[in-house]
């Protein structure tokens, strides 16, 4: 399993990112859809962020998930990610950020391990799209109230604004998860 996320460091990076953009907690809450109270607890380092919350925050701040967890990329138009990329644990998942060059904004890719021992969480939703590819195991994807069993070498693509969650009961599952900004966000990014 990967190293636990350094919540205090993530909180400090989140606060720095918010303040460098001249945003108050209220403004970031309005832009990201994450409540002010939740943001405050994240910035204080007392709350674990879910993938959905990380996706909303990085989009609102115009940064990568890797930068929030302390992984900087070189200022080049191409970045590669090998098998030794740092892994972190958050909300019972093992996460490795495997995307992003210096100015990338439209998508985030992560390798995610969902352990069988992870207790079910509440379904999440966020703006944009998600694409999942099951690299190993059997993933149970609950999407909009319907349970889908996705086996190795299966992919799923969906509107992430609808409630969804990942679980597994038969051993761990390894998933390549890609989130993409919605068209409205992309228009704002490019202007």
**Residues 98 and 183 occupy one common structural domain:** yes
**Residues 52 and 145 occupy one common structural domain:** no
**Residues 120 and 151 occupy one common structural domain:** yes
Residue 75 included in any domain:
no
Percentage above 70 pLDDT, the chain: 87
Tokens 């989130």 locate to 179
**Residues 28 and 60 occupy one common structural domain:** yes
**Residues 103-152: pLDDT tens digits?**
677 788 899 999 998 888 899 888 889 999 999 999 999 999 999 999 99
Residue 76 included in any domain:
no
Residue 113 included in any domain:
yes
Cα 65 from Cα 54, distance rounded (Å): 7
**Residues 51 and 95 occupy one common structural domain:** no
**Residues 103 and 64 occupy one common structural domain:** no
Mean pLDDT, residues 11-26 taken together: 89
3-state secondary structure of 125: coil
CATH at 157: 2.60.120.10
Residue 45 included in any domain:
yes
Res 189: pLDDT: 41
Q: Which pTM was predicted?
A: 0.72
Res 95: pLDDT: 87
Residue 169 included in any domain:
yes
Total domains in the fold of the chain: 2
**Residues 92 and 179 occupy one common structural domain:** yes
Res 102: pLDDT: 66
Calculate the alpha carbon distances from 105 to 1, 3, 182, 184, 187 in Å. 28, 26, 11, 13, 11
Residue 78 included in any domain:
no
**Residues 33-71: pLDDT tens digits?**
889 999 999 999 888 888 888 888 887 887 877 777 776
**Could you give the count of Cα atoms lying within 13 Å of 180 in the half-sphere of its Cβ?**
11
> What would the DSSP string read from start to end of 136-189?
ES-EEEEETTEEEEE-TT-EEEEETTS-EEEE-SSS-EEEEEEEE--HHHHHHH
**Residues 62 and 94 occupy one common structural domain:** no
Q: Which domain holds residue 17?
A: 3-68
CATH at 9: 1.10.260.40
Residue 81 included in any domain:
no
């Amino acid at each position: 399993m990967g190293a636990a996320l350094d919540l205090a460091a993530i909180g400090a990076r989140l606060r720095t990112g918010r303040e460098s953009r001249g945003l108050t907690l209220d403004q970031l809450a309005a832009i990201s859809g994450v409540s002010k109270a939740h943001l405050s607890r994240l910035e204080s380092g007392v709350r674990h962020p879910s993938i959905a919350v990380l996706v909303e925050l990085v989009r609102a701040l115009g940064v990568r998930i890797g930068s929030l967890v302390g992984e900087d990329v070189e200022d080049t138009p191409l970045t590669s990610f090998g098998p030794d990329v740092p892994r972190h644990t958050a909300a019972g998942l093992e996460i490795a950020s495997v995307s992003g060059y210096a100015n990338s904004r439209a998508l985030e890719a992560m390798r995610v391990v969902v352990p069988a021992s992870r207790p079910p969480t509440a379904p999440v939703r966020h703006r944009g799209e998600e694409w999942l590819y099951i690299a190993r195991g059997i993933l149970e994807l609950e999407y909009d109230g319907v349970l889908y069993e996705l086996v190795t070498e299966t992919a799923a693509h969906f509107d992430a604004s609808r409630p969804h969650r990942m679980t597994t009961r038969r051993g761990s599952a390894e998933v390549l998860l890609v989130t993409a900004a919605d068209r409205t966000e992309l228009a704002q990014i490019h202007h």
